[in-house]
Amino acid sequence: MAMQAELVLDARNAVGECPVWVPAEQALYWVDIEARAIWRWRDGDALQWAVDQQVACIAPRARGGWIAAMETGVYTVELGQPAQLLHEAAHPRPGMRFNDGRCDRQGRMRAGTMLADMAGAQAVGTLYAIDGGLTPLVHELITPNGLAFSPDGRTMYLSDSHPRVQQVWAFDYDTDTGRPHNRRLFVDMKALPGRPDGAAVDVDGCYWNCANDAGLVHRFTPRGELDRSIALPVKKPSMCAFGGPQLDTLYVTSIRPKGIDLTDQPLAGGLFALRPGVGGLADPPCIA
């Protein structure tokens, strides 16, 4: 029997992204980039808070509050209060913002930047380490996405979801220094349905990737082999994260495109849940 995706919330997010499960609260947080909002779902109730800029990715801080990568830099956020600049981004071009990001297994935040106008197809994006500043790790990205880490933290995954690229790479990752090296092709998504958007890793070390435009979530083995694909009732799933009391629910955010007929996907922009039969890993709080 095919696995069914369950609608958790008809959020109608313009660009739902970066789901993060917070075990201490038994709550899921995520963002709507274009709406400049941070959402929370807990015990069937949803709340949202406005922020001053487009917010691309978030992580709970070990010292309390949140860290958020936005348009002009990285900020600390107390929900319901003005964000405070932590590190300003020296973007090489106007019109850029942060995109996908998450913490490594040691709680160090990494996040990528992109030119907001994807039609420009400019490889001016960078993956940054957020360690007392913004340190560039990977250059010449168009739309950085799919950031995830293996269970032992020694492999880093990164994709570029732009239609010109559509590749996922694996890197050896130094858990002491937090630096990736030995970049290699992990999956060429041009040969598969969808573009490689946000991702998560399960306890078996398999890489779950949202196949944007194809309405699928793919699971790849640590060798880069496609293990399974699960269908969603929307075309643009954007990022996934494991959560729930046993970390065995895969939550998936999605995008509600503007200016097109959504008759065949009325739930676009919703938050969904899958029960894939495998557990995930708790994300460590951010030490920044």
User: Which run of H or of E encompasses 210?
Assistant: strand 207-212
**N-terminal to C-terminal alpha carbon distance within the chain:** 44
State the pLDDT at residue 1. 42
Catalytic residue among 160, 197, 202, 283: 197
Dist CA 231 CA 211 (whole Å): 10
The domain spanning residue 103 has which CATH number? Answer: 2.120.10.30
State the pLDDT at residue 2. 57
Q: Is residue 285 part of a domain?
A: no
Active site residue 197: yes
Q: Is residue 287 part of a domain?
A: no
Based on the structure, what is the number of domains in the chain? 1
Q: Is residue 261 part of a domain?
A: yes
Name residue 170's amino acid.
A
Dist CA 183 CA 204 (whole Å): 22
Write a three-state SS string for 161-208: CCCCCCEEEEEEEECCCCEEEEEEEEEEHHHCCCEEEEEEEECCCCEE
Find the domain containing 166 and state its range: 6-274
Q: Is residue 156 part of a domain?
A: yes
- Residues with Cβ within 8 Å of 248's Cβ and at least 6 positions away in sequence, in order, are 242, 275, 276, 277, 278, 279, 280
Q: Is residue 38 part of a domain?
A: yes
Q: Average pLDDT for residues 131-136, to the nearest whole number?
A: 95
In terms of Cα–Cα distance, which of 266, 231, 230, 237 is closest to 254? Answer: 237
Dist CA 285 CA 62 (whole Å): 5
State the pLDDT at residue 86. 97
Encode pLDDT of 33-44 as tens digits. 999 999 999 999
Encode pLDDT of 15-72 as tens digits. 999 999 999 999 999 999 999 999 999 999 999 999 999 999 999 999 999 999 999 9
Q: Is residue 234 part of a domain?
A: yes
DSSP 266: T
Q: Is residue 16 part of a domain?
A: yes
Encode pLDDT of 250-271 as tens digits. 999 999 999 999 999 999 999 9
Q: Average pLDDT for residues 172-188, to the nearest whole number?
A: 98
Q: Is residue 286 part of a domain?
A: no
